[in-house]
Amino acid sequence: MILYDYVLSASCYKVRLMAALLGKALTLHAVNFHPGREHKSAEMLALNPQGTLPVLTDGDTVLTDSADILRHLTADQPEWHSEEDDRWLAFASDLNDSLGLARLHDVIGYEADIDTVRAAGVMALRKLEAHLTEQRFDGLIFLTGKAPTIADIACFPNAALAPDGGVSLDPYPSIRLWMRAIRSLSGFIEMPGIHRLHELAHPA
């Protein structure tokens, strides 16, 4: 499988993270999204006429939506799915359109009505915090239960990167605990702005 990838893209990171957690190999094809706008090149538009990233090719299959790619990668892993997938994948799209857009504005100067998108991002984080707090009362840490699903992987990057778009995570303790749980998963990989948990070991 080939992933046409931009290292700073939260949507591309979802795919890299999912593959890493599954132990599935990806061949990464770096795309110069900024400043090169290579995603709008003739080669990339032939793969994805919408000119967006990520793009995953798996044989003759070409997928251009991160949610579809997550489903594809986990097609043989039913434990990564729940009856609430559609709800949370739609919510992940809302996070991308708010927190993700605010981050693009602040990091690479993308045009946006920044006050509006930040406000939408804050509203989304409040909804996420309320849900995760309710989950904690039931003894659950992930979005749909005791174990992570594609819902968590879809929502995690833009939530974790919210500070890059000027939205603090300080008011959201349940979100921070949830993010720690994801970062604790075996196979977790980092990206710029999202680091692994620090190793805490006593000196020999």
String of DSSP letters for 125-145: HHHHHHHHHHHHHTT--SSSS
Query: What per-residue confidence (pLDDT) applies to 95?
Result: 98
Measured distance CA(145)–CA(135) in Å, rounded? 8
Whole-Å CA distances, 33 to 5, 38, 99, 108 = 9, 6, 19, 10
Cis check for the bond before 35: say yes or no (omega within 30 of 0). Answer: yes
Measured distance CA(204)–CA(114) in Å, rounded? 50
> Hey, which residues does 2 pair with through a beta bridge?
27, 57
**Low-confidence residues in the chain, pLDDT < 70:** 199-204
Task: Tell me if 44 sits within 8 A of 137, measured CB to CB.
Answer: no
Whole-Å CA distances, 137 to 88, 134, 145 = 20, 5, 12
User: Hey, what are 98's tokens?
Assistant: 């708010």
Task: Tell me if 31 sits within 8 A of 39, measured CB to CB.
Answer: yes
Query: What per-residue confidence (pLDDT) applies to 199?
Result: 56
Query: What per-residue confidence (pLDDT) applies to 35?
Result: 84
| Domains of the chain: residue spans and CATH | 2-77 (3.40.30.10), 79-183 (1.20.1050.10)
